Amino acid sequence: MAEATFAPNDLLVSDVPVVTRNITIASGQNLKRGAVIGNITASDKYILSASAAADGSQTPGLVLAIDCDASAGDVVAPAYAGAGLDASKLILGAGHTTATVEAAFRKASAPLYVRTLK
């Protein structure tokens, strides 16, 4: 099991166990680590979650664990399925706030926790 450590100015915070899974990022995107992504139901691929979407991706589900350039085609990349996350480091799609993302994680019983650091 991999061990996460606290690094100042890092996305991961707290002692919440870190869980990743490999997912497919849909082509046409260049996303950075910390992007809050949602699943397109029809294709089972992920894109930056935007609240106005109507394809399933409007629901935040995971957080991208690495920078991912899928501009030339689909890319398999790791995403956080469990972790404590610094709210200020998340990259949110249109219409989302850290509060709506946290609420979506709670509704799905996902072990992703958004923390506001002081």
By three-state DSSP, how is residue 105 classified? Answer: helix
pLDDT (tens digit per residue) in 12-31: 888 889 999 999 999 999 99
pLDDT (tens digit per residue) in 56-103: 999 999 999 999 999 999 999 999 999 999 999 999 999 999 999 999
CA R_g for the chain? 13
pLDDT of residue 10: 85
**Cα–Cα distance, 54 to 30 (Å, whole number):** 21
Query: Assign residue 79 a region: left if phi > 0, alpha if psi is -120 to 50, beta otherwise?
Result: beta
**Can you list the domains of the chain with their CATH numbers?**
19-115 (2.40.300.10)
**Cα–Cα distance, 5 to 102 (Å, whole number):** 22
Residue 69: CB atoms within 10 Å: 13
Q: What phi and psi values does residue 88 have, to the nearest 5 degrees?
A: -75, -15
67's tokens: 């920078």
Give every CB contact of residue 34 below 8 A, 6+ residues apart in sequence: 11, 63, 64, 85, 89, 90, 91
